[in-house]
Amino acid sequence: MSQSTWFTEAHAASGSSIGFRVEARLHAEKTPFQSIEIYRTTDWGNLMVIDGCIMLTGRDNFLYHEMMTHPALFAHAAPRNVAIIGGGDCGTLREVLKHAEVESAVQVEIDERVTRLAERYFPELCESNGDPRARLLFDDGIRYMRDRAPGSLDVVIVDSTDPVGPAEGLFNAAFYASCYRALREGGILVQQSESPVAHLELIRSMRGAMRAAGFPAIHTLPFPQPCYPTGWWSCTMARKGGPLEGFRERDAADKPFATRYYNVEIHRAALAQPEFMRESLRA
């Protein structure tokens, strides 16, 4: 490839596209579940693409991984047992295990090749895979949550791809009901919830399905994500009992680990809703 070659993902729903200048395609394969490609970019580190959709870059993945984990874990009083559904690149697992109070964290990824390629091309995301508290399970996350013992988890993080293909079943009331059952009282579910600009109807549908599953407190947190459609993304948190506005601010301020985006002020700011989201998600 020449330096003028670009990988571009067109997003028809928003009439936009996002692209990165690439130097080489490092890997390409079709697994039983999806197609995976790895590129070396000129400015954004390595790039992972699944079924033609950008999953992460080496340069900006910290935004997503930190916001998928730290708001939820600091909102929980004592997050000891955590399950990650999806998250095969292991970046979310790494952030979860920064919390010393976490006693166990299982990552349930349906496609083992995502993890093996992350270990090769994004080793910085996999540096906690050998932590004795971590368990890598390559299985169906829907079945895993369905089979969990009631009240056995404190936090469930759904780090999935878009709601198509292997991830389609992770965006409905039946799956959320299995998460609700598996969580202890006060437990938190958090799921990536796409772009507030381009996917607001999907967010509304997710929140409605979470309510139908029994979650009384739901909050959607927006954050920047340059490599995803519109450059603006979100995660949606739901708690089994109790509100979501409060969090362990002192612990977050005194966290003994480094972050690049998340801090107390970012957490507070993410709880504020832009006017268009407030109006649209008020139901």
Q: Residue 163 has what pLDDT? A: 60
Q: Tell me the mean pLDDT in the region 117-122.
A: 98
Residue whose C-alpha is closest to residue 54's, from 270, 261, 230: 230
Per the model's pLDDT, the better-predicted residue between 280 and 22 turns out to be 22
Confidence check: pLDDT of 213 > 80 = yes
190-199 pLDDT per residue, tens: 999 999 999 8
Q: pTM for the whole thing?
A: 0.94
**82 and 107 in contact (C-beta within 8 Å)?**
no
Per CATH, the homologous superfamily of domain 6-57 is Spermidine synthase, tetramerisation domain (2.30.140.10)
Q: Is 139 one of the catalytic residues?
A: no
Summarised one tens digit per residue, pLDDT across range 73-105 is 999 999 999 999 999 999 999 999 999 999 999
Q: What beta strand segments (E) does the chain contain?
A: 6-11, 16-30, 35-41, 46-50, 53-57, 81-86, 104-108, 134-137, 153-159, 183-192, 217-224, 232-239
Which residue out of 89, 111, 159, 162 is catalytically annotated? 159
CB 170 within 8 A of CB 209: no
Give the residue carrying structure tokens 């507070």: 268
Domain ranges of the chain: 6-57, 61-280
Instruction: Please give the radius of gyration of the chain, using alpha carbons only, rounded to the nearest integer.
Output: 18
Contacts of 275 (CB under 8 A, 6+ apart): none
Q: Is the pLDDT of residue 108 over 90?
A: yes
Q: Alpha-carbon torsion 73, 242, 206, 212, what sign?
A: positive
What's the fold here for domain 61-280?
A: Rossmann fold (3.40.50)
